[in-house]
Structure 1
Amino acid sequence: MAIEPPDELIRLQQASDAAHAAVLEAPTAEAWQAWRDRAAEAQAAVTVYAKEIGELRNEVEAAVKRAVRHPEPAEG
């Protein structure tokens, strides 16, 4: 069964990825802390969601990252 991550997990991963990009542009202590905070939020949400749907956490995480970083083209 394919895991379809909810929009909230997508938004959290996008925020984490954006914070990571900010670190790459300007690796300040504040940027690093923001990335750690966003990543922790995303990871915690993935863990909760995986438990809710009875899937392995790493499978849910992979599905979320795939959806964010390699989205399927829109049909139509």
Structure 2
Amino acid sequence: MPAFDFPADLLALEARAWQEIQAGRLTVASAQAVQEAVTAFAAEAGYDRYEVEMGLKRAVRHPEG
């Protein structure tokens, strides 16, 4: 999997969604915003969307690894 240089706004969207998931209150709007941003980032950079999504989740949820 390639190393991604995620923009701060994409990291912030995923961090907010992760906080909502942990609190048991993820909203459709938050999930949709993340998916739209991931799709746009992947398309602009020429990456596979699924790899981008996995990399983003790893960067936010497991920053030590």
State the TM-score bracket (shorter-chain normalisation).
0.7 to 0.9
Equivalence for 2:5: 4
Count of matched residue positions in the alignment of Structure 1 and Structure 2? 64
Question: Which has the higher Rg, Structure 1 or Structure 2?
Answer: 1
Query: What is the aligned counterpart of 2:31 among 39, 47, 54?
Result: 39
Give the TM-score normalised by the residue count of structure 2.
Answer: 0.84
Unaligned stretches of 5+ residues in structure 1: 24-30
Cα distance in 1, alignment partners of residues 28 and 23 from structure 2: 12
Give the structure with the higher percent helix: 1
What is the root-mean-square deviation of aligned Cα atoms in Å? 1.6
Quote the offset at 1:50 in angstroms.
Answer: 0.3
Report sequence identity in percent: 39
TM-score, normalised to structure 1's length? Answer: 0.73
Match of 1:27 in 2: none
Q: Distance in 1 between matches of 2:34 and 2:16?
A: 8
For 1:13, the equivalent position in structure 2 comes to 14
Q: Report runs of 4+ in structure 1 exceeding 4 Å deviation.
A: none
Gaps of 5+ in 2: none
